[in-house]
Amino acid sequence: MLIEKMYSVTLKKHIMEKQLEAIRDQQKSTWNEFSPMLKKWDDILMDAAMPLTTISKWRCEYSSKHPCHCR
């Protein structure tokens, strides 16, 4: 009886490990498929946002030097 339970636990553990490996492989495959597209969009969005961050930085610097123009 004890041996059967140990075998059952070992078998369940093995099945679970195989399922986890399959999920990991599927996630890795999905990431490999879509990551180049995400990199492209990240580059595009960061290039587009650069002028806005420059203006925000300038406004913060100006506001700190001229408190009457904070808003």
| Between 23 and 55, the higher pLDDT residue | 23
Q: Give just the sign of the alpha carbon dihedral 19, 34, 39, 58.
A: negative
- Which structural domain range is residue 64 located in? 2-69
Residue 37 has pLDDT above 60, yes or no: yes
Number of domains in the chain: 1
Residue 21 tokens read as 């490996």
Top pLDDT among 58 and 20 is at 20
- Residue 45 pLDDT > 60, yes or no? yes
* Cα 48 to Cα 41: distance, rounded to the nearest angstrom: 10
Do residues 30 and 36 lie in contact, with contact meaning Cβ atoms separated by under 8 Å? no
Q: What's the gap between Cα 35 and its chain centre?
A: 10
- pTM beyond 0.85, yes or no: no
Question: What is each CA distance from 49 to 7, 40, 59, 66, in whole angstroms?
Answer: 59, 14, 15, 26
User: What does the mean pLDDT of the chain come to?
Assistant: 80
